[in-house]
Amino acid sequence: MHRDVDLLITAADTEGYIKSYIIVPTSVWGLATGRLVDSGVQNPHSMLIPILVKAALDRGRAGMVGEGKNIWHNVEIHELAYLYITLYDKIVADPDTGHGRNGFYFGESGEHSLYAVSKEIGTALVALKKSDSAEPMTFTQADLNKYFRGSSFLGSNSRCRATRARAFGWKPTKSTSDMLANIRTEMEVIIKKKHWVGHLNNAL
């Protein structure tokens, strides 16, 4: 989605115009906090899990692309923010910190299958009396058209390792288990604010 821009930035580094450092988040989860959230200026939600939650609330059933066997990595939003701080401090302390082609820093702290996420969404739906079945049901093409602009990107694989970030001291502690446990909380917030009503066409 942003590769073309990344290539332009790294090319500028190669040509000596800048030193580039690019943080590449994986599937961000959790609710943002802080003054901007409290004042209503900042959206507290990430994208991937909330759009699955919104679709599930609308159709009354958790969904997945295909069998949901694809794998994505994940990172908690506050730990991702700390990665930015940690990298900045590293650059200030050491001007030779990897940049350009060696300046891509992944943010990941675990991996999950789409099925695992969708099953947890289904479990939360049942617990909150929004569905009578916790088992995810494969999205039809009509579902993909309605909720994801016809794209099946949620059936793709997206895997990496945050080797460079961990090497200079970034130490995330939140795991995939924490992410799955947070899904009901996120769903409760979405339900309370009715964030899935009338927002589905603009989810992506």
CATH number assigned to the domain covering 3-202: 3.40.50.720
Q: Looking at the predicted structure, is the pLDDT value of residue 198 above 90? A: no
DSSP annotation of 199 reads T
pLDDT-derived band at 203 (thresholds 50, 70, 90) equals low
Give the mean pLDDT of the chain: 93
Residue 94's contacts (CB-CB under 8 Å, 6 or more residues apart) are none
Q: What is the structure's pLDDT at 167?
A: 95
> What confidence score (pLDDT) does residue 204 get?
53
Predicted confidence band of residue 165 (pLDDT cuts 50, 70, 90): very high
Amino acid of residue 64: M
Alpha-carbon distance of 100 to 22, in angstroms, equals 8
User: What's residue 196's pLDDT?
Assistant: 57
- What are the E-state strand segments in the chain? 22-25, 27-29, 63-64, 71-76, 104-107, 111-113, 137-138
Q: How far is CA 131 from CA 57, 128, 135, 195, in A?
A: 8, 8, 10, 18
